A = this chain, B = another copy of it.
Amino acid sequence: MAMAYHPFQVHGADAFPLPAVIPGAQPSLISALTLPDAASFSDPLLERAAADARLRAAAELRGRPVHPRSMKSVGQPEQWLDDDPKVTLESKDLWSEFHKMGTEMVITKSGRRMFPPFKVCVEGLSESTKYILLMDIVAVDDCRYKFHNSRWTVAGKADPEMPKRMYIHPDSPSKGEQWMSKPVAFHKLKLTNNISDKHGFTILNSMHKYQPRFHIVRANDIMKLPYSTFRTYVFPETEFIAVTAYQNEKITQLKIDNNPFAKGFRDTGNGRREKRSALHKMSLRELLFSKADQGGADSDDSSGPPGASEPFYSPLELVSSPLMSTPTYAKDIESDSDLDLEEDDVLKVGLPGPARTLTTNLRHEDVLQPMPDLSKSNNKDGSNGIIVHRAHDGNEYFMELGSYESQRSVNNDGGLPTKLRPHSLTCLSNFHYPTLDFSGVYRQPFVRVRASFKKRQLSMTPTGFSCLGVGPGFTPLPGINDFDNGFLPSQTIQPSGAFPLSRHTLESQGVSLSPIDGMSSYPYHRVAPIGASVSALPACSATPSLSGIHQHRNPKTWLRLSPYQLPPSFTSCQNLLTASLPGR
Does A128 have its Cβ within 8 Å of any Cβ on chain B?
A: yes
A173 adjacent to B482 (CB under 8 Å): yes
Residue picked from A178, A220, A502, most chain B C-beta under 10 Å: A178
B174 touches A481 (CB 8 A): yes
Binds B, one of A82-90, A485-493, A571-579: A485-493
Contact of A489 among B173, B181, B486 (CB under 8 A): B181
Say yes or no: A505 contacts B181, CB within 8 Å.
no
Main secondary structure of the interface of A (DSSP, over half): loop
Query: Does A170 count as interface, using CB distance less than 8 angstroms?
Result: yes
A442 touches B178 (CB 8 A): yes
- Rounded to whole Å, the gap between the CB of A263 and the closest CB of chain B is 24
Chain B residues with CB under 8 Å of A504's CB are 128
Q: With contacts A479-B170, A508-B128 known, is A178 near B485, CB below 8 A? A: yes
Cβ-based interface call for A526 (8 A): no
Question: Least Cβ distance of A425 to chain B in Å?
Answer: 26
B171, A488: Cβ atoms closer than 8 Å: no
Bound complex: CA of A444 vs CA of B175, how far in Å? Answer: 12
Kindly name the residue among A172, A182, A482, A489 whose own CB sees the greatest number of chain B CB atoms within 10 A.
Answer: A482
Q: A478 near B: Cβ within 8 Å?
A: yes
How far in angstroms is the closest Cβ of chain B from A329? Answer: 38
- How many copies make up the complex? 2
Chain A interface: which size bin?
20 to 34
Contact B484 A175 (CB under 8 A): yes
Contacts of A479 in B (CB 8 A): 170-171, 478-479, 481
Chain B residue nearest in CB terms to A477: B479
Residues of B within 8 A of A220 (CB): 482, 484
Give Cα A481 to B489, complex, Å: 21
- A293 within 8 Å of B by Cβ? no
A6 adjacent to chain B (CB < 8 Å): no
Q: Assess whether A286 is interfacial by the CB under 8 Å rule.
A: no
A482-B481 contact in complex given A178-B444, A182-B444, A443-B171, C-beta closer than 8 Å: yes
Interface presence of A581 (CB below 8 A): no
Q: Flag if A181 contacts B488 (CB, 8 Å).
A: yes
CA distance A442 to B174 in the complex (A): 9
- Given A444-B178, A444-B181, A444-B182, the answer on whether A482 and B484 have CB atoms closer than 8 Å is no
A413 CB-CB contact with B under 8 Å: no
| Bound complex: CA A175 to CA B444 (Å) | 12
Contact B172 A481 (CB under 8 A): yes
Contact B174 A486, beta carbon cutoff 8 Å: no
Within 8 A of B (CB), among A483-515: 484-486, 488-490, 502, 504-505, 508
In the complex, chain B residues whose CB is within 8 Å of the CB of A197: none
Q: Complex: how many Å from CA A171 to CA B172?
A: 12
Chain B residues within 8 Å of A175, by CB? 484-486
A177 within 8 A of B: yes
Query: 8 Å CB contacts to B: which residues of A169-200?
Result: 170-175, 177-178, 181-182
A177 and B486 form a contact (CB under 8 A): yes
Closest 10 CB pairs of A and B: A481-B481, A479-B479, A482-B482, A177-B488, A181-B489, A481-B482, A181-B488, A171-B443, A181-B490, A128-B504
* A-B CB contact pairs (8 Å), 22 listed: A128-B484, A128-B486, A128-B504, A128-B505, A130-B484, A170-B479, A171-B443, A171-B479, A171-B481, A173-B481, A173-B482, A174-B481, A175-B486, A177-B488, A178-B485, A181-B488, A181-B489, A182-B444, A182-B489, A478-B479, A480-B481, A482-B482
